[in-house]
Structure 1
Amino acid sequence: MKKILSFAFLFAVVCAALGQTKVSGIVLDDFGDPVPFANVIFKDSSKGTITNDDGRFYLESDERYEALIVSFVGFTTQEVALEKSVTYNLEITLPQGEQLKEVIVYTGKQSKKNNPAVDILRKIWNRKRNNGLRQFEQYQYDKYEKIEFDLNSIDSALIKSKLFRGMEFIFEEVDTSRVTGKTYLPMFINEAFSRVYGDNVIKEEKENLLGNKNSGFSSNQNIIGFVNDLYADYDIYDNYLKFFDKSFVSPLSRTGIDTYNYVLVDSATIDNKWCYNIIYYPRRKNELTFKGDFWVNDTTWAIKKINLQVTKSANINWVKEVYIEQEFDVLNDSVFLVKRDYMLTDFALSKKEKSRGIYGKRTTLYDNYAFNIKKDKGFYDEEVDPYNQAIYERDSAFWAKNRLEKLNEDEMGVYKMLDTLKTVPKFKRLYSLGSILASGYVEVDKWDFDYGPIFSTFGFNDVEGIRLRAGGRTYFGPNDRWRLEAYTAYGFRDQKFKYGLSGKWLLDRKTRLTIAGGNRRDVEQTAVSLSATTDVLGRSNASSSLLAAGDNSRLTNINLTTASVSFEPFKNLNLSIGGIYKTFKSASPETFSLDYIDALSPTGISSELKQTEINVTLNYTPGRRTIGYGVERKDENDNYTRSFLSYTKGVDGFLESGFDYEKLQLFYARPWQVGGFGRLYTTLEVGKTFGEVPLSLLSVVPGNQSYFSIYNTFSQLDFYEFVTDTYATLHIEHNFNGRLFSRIPLLRKLNLREIIGVRGAWGDISDGNIALNQPAFQSLTLNPNAIAPNEKIYWEYSLGIGNIFKVFRIDFNFRGNYFENINARKFGVTGSFGFYF
């Protein structure tokens, strides 16, 4: 019996092997140079790929094929026999030659005129708004999405490395990528099943999540948020496709003929539809472009198949390769609907061929389309319930019914493998280290407590000298209904302890009804933001002045107590009402004064302010997506507009409060994706204080005396250089993402990115406020004729170079006017670090 079973197993393995074909290699010309973008297909099939920038390719199929057909315009087509089912490292030479006489041959840069491929492209443009879901007033469909992360380039050296000692069992799940031909080890998988509804008339769309399942990281919101933002939906008919916060020119774009070369190479019948095959590749290097091919129907001019590969020279960090393919189903003679969408990203520190990295793969399938079933607007306005735990606990029967594509053995094994892996002590340590670096907190599961943030442990300023800080928060899970946070800090120069304590409680998750409160005693730099801080636990802005331009001792001792209630009457609209009690006093009275005229003081001057305020704020963030539903949520995206309106009423006489006044402030920030020309950031702030108040309550135009680039501050202004009670500021910054440098041969390979910025501020201050604050203004040695920039707008501009060594940015900042101000800084250099795609 055992022999029979063994024979049956061996027979099954052999049959499976015979039914597969795997092949990889490189395509060269007569001179031994790689041929990029060459077509490689299995003979007598439509399954194929194109070579990459280095002429390399990998192709596989579950069926057995005997030969490859390799072709490219201007070369003689070659047929390569495949003697074995698995053939790696083929070297194929394409001799120079012409195709059949009636076929026009295009090589190198293609003409935009008399090019049949471009003629077809124009027909696609004319019909693209009439293709797909746009043809119907309403639509709905099922959507299944599978996202997977894999460790790639698995070899014996990695398997035997000390890193994986004790975890060797995980390599039993190693497989080979059908796109790149590299071995990989699945490490994470997430499945989601949804029903999507849309209305083209009222321009609304809604997605109801019905099931979600992943392999052990459901509580890690950082991973989930990254995945959701990374793999946002896109439409290949759009002019620009957004990936990694960058806009890639679509090969179907109206600007495509200026960006790509197009070649008509074939025609064939696919699913009973006659289609043309067009390959495309970039006209220039280092731009955000693709290479690949697509099949288009000859009557509807709708796309039947398309694949897109990001060129290796594209100015994008930490990504070695991106491969996308979409297939469309023929509903009837005129309707082509997306059926399958696949995207593979190879994340790596280096773009070298043999570098090891992580695959991120998304497969999305669509089915059960239905049309013109009208639903009222209230259906779309009603928010999907994010608190239904059953969504995340669906049984195997649910997934067996609703998976539109079965998991293969390796994918099924991920669930079991990770369940086992999480019990291995070494993996727990590695996972904890990664979590600390990502969140900044050290998890102490035994006490449901997180220590941190660890990046705020050390600081320095002119008042405290060396500053040490320790703190933490309660943490039972990412969806906690309540949270407490606290910290303490000590300055070795002033020999004083500081502290902060806060708490918040989510009373109702549907309306986001939350109460919060806290107290903070600390040293703070209060002239870095026009919006006063009510944060009792963030890192002190005074603690980063180890390196500073000019005098950086204008610091304030603050004692801030807050209590508030907030709720969301509508999605992304937050209303908050609170009370604030605060005291302000100079932390360095020898060099910085907050004195003001006080008729009730024995000396006629007061140095300390005590003030009670009532504050109402309205925060509107349309387009914002969040993850989690606890008292704290995290943003899933950053490309949304923010409008912030604040009204503050100063209450005189309550708890020794000294002033009666009103303050209105409006903040508006919006990012703009400017097609293929990068991203524009704009921020507008306006405000007015009604009444006479001390310097601590006035609006200071935010300066920046550090050597770090801080957006929404003025790099060439000192702290308290301009003081206002009425103000307006505008910040404009544009990142071209290397669009200009990519056209300069000597700079092209450096993948640098150019940034320009312009900043302006106008403000005024009443005679009453000038008189009230004479002691402080004299101490600040402000220009008496320019306390506020009211006669002319203060402005400055900057020229920046980003992506230096992939992590560094440097800005050259220039002051535009007010050079007569004391110690005015005409020019400065600032920099910043960051990890950006």
Structure 2
Amino acid sequence: MRILLSLCFLLICSLAWSQSKVSGKVFDENGAPIPYANVLFKGTFEGTITDENGTFYLESDNTQSILEVSLLGYTTQEIPLEKRVTYNMRVVLVEGEVLEEVVVYVGNQPKKNNPAIDILRKIWEKKRVNGLNKFDQYHYDKYEKIEFDLNTIDSVLMENKIFNGMEFIFEQVDTSNVTGKTYLPIFINESSSEVYGDNKLNAEKEIQKGNKTSGFDANQAVLSFIQDLYAEYNVYNNYIKLFDKSFVSPLSKTGIDVYNYVLSDSTFRDNKWCYNIVYYPRRSNELTFKGDFWVNDTTYAVKEINMQASKSANVNWVKDLYIEQEFDVLNDSVFVLKRDYVMSDFSLRKKEESRGIYGKRTTIYANYEFDKEKAKSFYEQRVDPYNEAVFNRSDEFWATNRLEELNEDEKGIYTMLDTLRTVPKFKMLYNAGSVLSSGYYEFDKLNLDYGPIFSTFGYNEVEGIRVRGGGRTYFSQNDQWRLEGYLAYGLRDRRVKYGLSARWMLDRKKRLIISAGTRRDIEQLGVSLSATNDVLGRSFASSALFTAGSNNTLTNIRLTTAAIQYDFFKNFTFRWGMDYRRMRSALPDVFSLSYVDPEAPGGVNDETNQFSLITQLQYTPGRRVLGYGVDQYDVNDDYSRIILRYTAGRKGFFKSDFDFEKLQFYYNQPLQIGGFGRMTTNLEAGKIFGAVPLSLLSPIPGNQTYFSIFNTFPNLDFYEFVTDTYLSVQMEHNFNGRLFGRIPFLKKLNLREIVGLRGVWGSLSQENIELSAPAGMMLQAPEDEPYYEYSFGVGNIFKVFRIDFSFRGNYLDSPGARPFAVTGAFELAF
């Protein structure tokens, strides 16, 4: 009886929202599915295209009587709709007669003498002078709504014991107008803003007026993930970046090689004569779309466009991706974006019946104004990034500033979600998800978080098994101050380690932050060119359970730091600080950090005490962040990072041992190379002026673990090369399956090919070699010729693992040289 009531409830909900719904599959006479067939309600522009398997879903707010299914080369089928809801239809298209005066396009379309491609070339010519590009300045209002929903809600899910006490949530079940699946909202965010731009200054400024959230609003890790999913894009660009992948735009100049285009129709759209062009992929497994677009016959500006990602595209966890954009005609020649809708169906499996989560973003643009110039200072002037009034707007504000009204179901989402968070069982589930995403467990009443839980256990040859516990203060996602700390204990050395950090933001606009911390721990310093200043974490190499050779070159470090940082302007940070470090070998019997010290007993000292002043400039152009407190989360990962650091060691201050100067430069650049994948380049250079011992030199970062760690050399042991002057370049390119996707027996596995090249040149002065002579190590640098490695890897194995095969290019005659290495890593990537 309960199942019957649940089914009736779902049916009533679906009928209440849409008047006509149809779904089914299209076949040819031989029973083979027909992809990319046109399906629409006769006499309307409401339609869709079948996917690669011939499947379709379509709905209308109005009652429709006839469904029309067609494809050039086949006889059009008109199917009467006797009911408002008709699912699992089977439509068979019969090959029709080809008339002499009609050109019929079937399968792969020709690139020559194709009117659709002629129109596409006109779009390319005009795109630079269409839309906002026609004006010197522009201004518009923007409203954005992001929603996440649990989908495929059925009676089995409703009756699951996990929802006991939460049955009221199913009152908000709705049906997707894209897939026809039921869904339940679990998160919603609305924002209202004004956007100003100046094409002459190449400047744009967005001023947020209101922001409203319900759901997992306190979890910045989740929110930054959401923001990164829905980055801005332009359909006129050659590539559309989604999920860290570059999809070929159907309007791309390279689209001719990857898409079939068919001129399907022409008619008036909003009193403008437009052509309708249908497009679909030439090959499977590529990052492409299928759909159609309407384009004006004089301006060649796009009026509407629909894009649905190919189901065979090499993207993990995304079962469906649908994009719809509508452009408004402001006058005879100006087409501007009016509505942008993106819907993605996230699921662990791509089977049709599998459950998942919808991610939906709707953006509305309105009230365009042009050529109203503002001073350059307007775009340079900073606004308060966190105005509490923006996040506490009244219902009257939203009633006025919503450019698209919420439907009845959406209006109930806020109440439902706020009520849901008071249910103990939901709070338990929410906390479990929060722990997995952030790594911290929240103690709300204490305003404390425990974690990171993933650092609880570790291992090295000094400590043996290491147990660690830590935590942080956490009042809200925008705390102006934060305390963090940890305690750790090694079961072999029976010693307690600890770290403590304090940070306080004095000015939110300029991000003026003061910080201090102290740490006593064991660290593998041979895994980085830069001395560690982190008082809370350690390199992975310090705790690796399995290593290629003995991981015994560990350092016992006591570190105390203090710093002040300030943002001169967005993404440009100045940091000045000081640190005091005491370093000695953690295993002096096998690894020595001794150096010549005439003032020490016997003329040898095995401990370095060093006070240093550090000045650093960091520039991260294009970086977008979330959060307005002392902590921020990156929204995107495609920005470059440039760091210039100057370190001055001062002898005698706090009994410091050495005078020296160290200059370092760091540059990291991720780059999406169109449809050829993603390349990451890392460049580092540095020089030490003055004599310093091994503990203060720059070891070339080795990697004796079996894990792939970027910016290390997998075939080098720790401290195999040591320098005081160095230049290092590392490049890694992920083709994202572009090559494997064209090999028949491999393409279904969605594997991704990865290649890497790493090289370093360095030198070491004789003075520094002699200073560290008591250590008994033969210090060498790759000075005669640059050391290099190359690697080949396979990623996306079972969607979670990669394996890399690295080869040593030279210095093969060095004692204990490893000519070949195999490393792997777990990667959760789209």
Structure 1 length-normalised TM = 0.96
Instruction: Give the deviation of 1:335 after TM superposition.
Output: 1.2
Where does residue 171 of structure 1 map in the other structure? 170
Instruction: Give the deviation of 1:687 after TM superposition.
Output: 0.4
The answer to whether the 8 Å contact 1:542/1:555 transfers is no
- Give, in whole Å, the separation in 2 of the partners of 1:222 and 1:771: 49
- Give, in whole Å, the separation in 1 of the partners of 2:430 and 2:83: 42
Q: What do the CA deviations read for 1:698-734 (whole angstroms, capped 9, x no partner)?
A: 1110000000000001110000000111001001111
- Give, in whole Å, the separation in 2 of the partners of 1:33 and 1:408: 40
The answer to whether the 8 Å contact 1:742/1:751 transfers is yes
2:783 is aligned, of 766, 786, 790, to: 790
The answer to whether the 8 Å contact 1:519/1:562 transfers is yes
- Give, in whole Å, the separation in 2 of the partners of 1:576 and 1:89: 63
Where does residue 153 of structure 1 map in the other structure? 152
- Give, in whole Å, the separation in 2 of the partners of 1:148 and 1:661: 55
TM alignment of 1:417-432, pairs within 5 A? 417-432=416-431
- Counterpart code for 1:60: E
Where does residue 6 of structure 2 map in the other structure? none
Instruction: Give the deviation of 1:540 after TM superposition.
Output: 5.1
Where does residue 500 of structure 1 map in the other structure? 499
- Give, in whole Å, the separation in 2 of the partners of 1:162 and 1:17: 28
Alpha carbons of 1:392 and 1:483: their partners in 2 closer, same or farther (altered >3 Å)? same
Instruction: Give the deviation of 1:14 after TM superposition.
Output: 13
Alpha carbons of 1:64 and 1:542: their partners in 2 closer, same or farther (altered >3 Å)? closer
For 1:749, what is the secondary structure of its paired residue? helix
1:817 is aligned, of 804, 810, 816, to: 810
Instruction: Give the deviation of 1:216 after TM superposition.
Output: 3.8
Moved >3 Å (runs of 4+): 13-19, 98-101, 539-543
- Give, in whole Å, the separation in 1 of the partners of 2:388 and 2:217: 12
Instruction: Give the deviation of 1:27 after TM superposition.
Output: 1.0
For 1:693, what is the secondary structure of its paired residue? coil
Instruction: Give the deviation of 1:66 after TM superposition.
Output: 0.8
Where does residue 367 of structure 1 map in the other structure? 366
Alpha carbons of 1:19 and 1:52: their partners in 2 closer, same or farther (altered >3 Å)? closer
Where does residue 734 of structure 1 map in the other structure? 733
For 2:312, what is the secondary structure of its paired residue? coil
TM alignment of 1:72-91, pairs within 5 A? 72-91=71-90
Where does residue 466 of structure 2 map in the other structure? 467
Where does residue 45 of structure 1 map in the other structure? 44
Instruction: Give the deviation of 1:674 after TM superposition.
Output: 0.6
- Give, in whole Å, the separation in 2 of the partners of 1:634 and 1:831: 27
Where does residue 819 of structure 2 map in the other structure? 826
- Counterpart code for 1:218: D
TM alignment of 1:505-544, pairs within 5 A? 505-539=504-538, 541-544=540-543
Where does residue 94 of structure 1 map in the other structure? 93
Alpha carbons of 1:746 and 1:187: their partners in 2 closer, same or farther (altered >3 Å)? same
The sequence identity of aligned pairs, in percent, is: 64
The answer to whether the 8 Å contact 1:549/1:706 transfers is yes
- Give, in whole Å, the separation in 1 of the partners of 2:122 and 2:510: 49
TM alignment of 1:2-41, pairs within 5 A? 20-41=19-40
The answer to whether the 8 Å contact 1:238/1:252 transfers is yes
- Give, in whole Å, the separation in 2 of the partners of 1:19 and 1:687: 65
Instruction: Give the deviation of 1:544 after TM superposition.
Output: 2.4
Gaps of 5+ in 1: 1-12
For 1:129, what is the secondary structure of its paired residue? helix
Instruction: Give the deviation of 1:692 after TM superposition.
Output: 0.5
For 1:812, what is the secondary structure of its paired residue? strand
Instruction: Give the deviation of 1:380 after TM superposition.
Output: 1.1
1:805 to 2:817 alignment = no
Q: What do the CA deviations read for 1:294-339 (whole angstroms, capped 9, x no partner)?
A: 1111111111111000000000000000011111111122111111
Alpha carbons of 1:14 and 1:433: their partners in 2 closer, same or farther (altered >3 Å)? closer
- Counterpart code for 2:795: G
- Give, in whole Å, the separation in 2 of the partners of 1:174 and 1:259: 39
1:720 to 2:719 alignment = yes
- Give, in whole Å, the separation in 2 of the partners of 1:463 and 1:208: 54
The answer to whether the 8 Å contact 1:704/1:719 transfers is yes
Where does residue 8 of structure 2 map in the other structure? none
- Give, in whole Å, the separation in 2 of the partners of 1:642 and 1:666: 11
Alpha carbons of 1:18 and 1:230: their partners in 2 closer, same or farther (altered >3 Å)? closer
- Give, in whole Å, the separation in 1 of the partners of 2:17 and 2:756: 61
For 1:368, what is the secondary structure of its paired residue? strand
Instruction: Give the deviation of 1:383 after TM superposition.
Output: 2.5
- Give, in whole Å, the separation in 2 of the partners of 1:98 and 1:676: 39
The answer to whether the 8 Å contact 1:763/1:789 transfers is yes
- Give, in whole Å, the separation in 2 of the partners of 1:379 and 1:102: 60
- Give, in whole Å, the separation in 1 of the partners of 2:513 and 2:768: 37
- Give, in whole Å, the separation in 1 of the partners of 2:382 and 2:84: 52
For 2:330, what is the secondary structure of its paired residue? strand
Instruction: Give the deviation of 1:219 after TM superposition.
Output: 2.3
Q: What do the CA deviations read for 1:650-691 (whole angstroms, capped 9, x no partner)?
A: 111112111111110010111111111111101110000000
Where does residue 347 of structure 2 map in the other structure? 348
Instruction: Give the deviation of 1:177 after TM superposition.
Output: 0.7
1:183 to 2:176 alignment = no
- Give, in whole Å, the separation in 1 of the partners of 2:608 and 2:588: 14
For 1:836, what is the secondary structure of its paired residue? coil
1:686 to 2:679 alignment = no
Where does residue 271 of structure 1 map in the other structure? 270
Where does residue 382 of structure 2 map in the other structure? 383
For 2:412, what is the secondary structure of its paired residue? helix
Q: What do the CA deviations read for 1:237-261 (whole angstroms, capped 9, x no partner)?
A: 1000000011000000000000101
Instruction: Give the deviation of 1:192 after TM superposition.
Output: 0.8
Aligned residues: 819
- Counterpart code for 2:787: Y
The answer to whether the 8 Å contact 1:475/1:483 transfers is yes
- Give, in whole Å, the separation in 1 of the partners of 2:627 and 2:33: 49
Where does residue 5 of structure 1 map in the other structure? none
- Give, in whole Å, the separation in 2 of the partners of 1:29 and 1:15: 31
- Give, in whole Å, the separation in 2 of the partners of 1:25 and 1:99: 27
- Counterpart code for 2:216: F
Instruction: Give the deviation of 1:445 after TM superposition.
Output: 1.2
The answer to whether the 8 Å contact 1:573/1:620 transfers is yes
Q: What do the CA deviations read for 1:594-641 (whole angstroms, capped 9, x no partner)?
A: 011111122111111111111111111111111111111111111111
The answer to whether the 8 Å contact 2:740/2:746 transfers is yes
- Give, in whole Å, the separation in 2 of the partners of 1:540 and 1:21: 59
Where does residue 7 of structure 2 map in the other structure? none
Instruction: Give the deviation of 1:781 after TM superposition.
Output: 4.5
Instruction: Give the deviation of 1:539 after TM superposition.
Output: 3.6
Where does residue 125 of structure 1 map in the other structure? 124
For 1:314, what is the secondary structure of its paired residue? coil
The answer to whether the 8 Å contact 1:450/1:472 transfers is yes
TM alignment of 1:631-642, pairs within 5 A? 631-642=630-641
- Counterpart code for 2:486: Y
TM alignment of 1:349-748, pairs within 5 A? 349-539=348-538, 541-748=540-747
For 1:527, what is the secondary structure of its paired residue? helix
Instruction: Give the deviation of 1:224 after TM superposition.
Output: 2.2
The answer to whether the 8 Å contact 2:17/2:61 transfers is no
- Counterpart code for 1:726: T
The answer to whether the 8 Å contact 2:541/2:705 transfers is no
Where does residue 55 of structure 1 map in the other structure? 54
CA RMSD of aligned residues (A): 1.4
- Give, in whole Å, the separation in 1 of the partners of 2:18 and 2:490: 71
1:238 to 2:231 alignment = no
Structure 2 length-normalised TM = 0.97
- Give, in whole Å, the separation in 1 of the partners of 2:550 and 2:15: 75
The answer to whether the 8 Å contact 2:286/2:738 transfers is yes
Instruction: Give the deviation of 1:120 after TM superposition.
Output: 1.0
Instruction: Give the deviation of 1:481 after TM superposition.
Output: 1.1
- Counterpart code for 2:826: F
- Give, in whole Å, the separation in 1 of the partners of 2:107 and 2:377: 55
Instruction: Give the deviation of 1:186 after TM superposition.
Output: 1.3
- Give, in whole Å, the separation in 2 of the partners of 1:764 and 1:549: 26
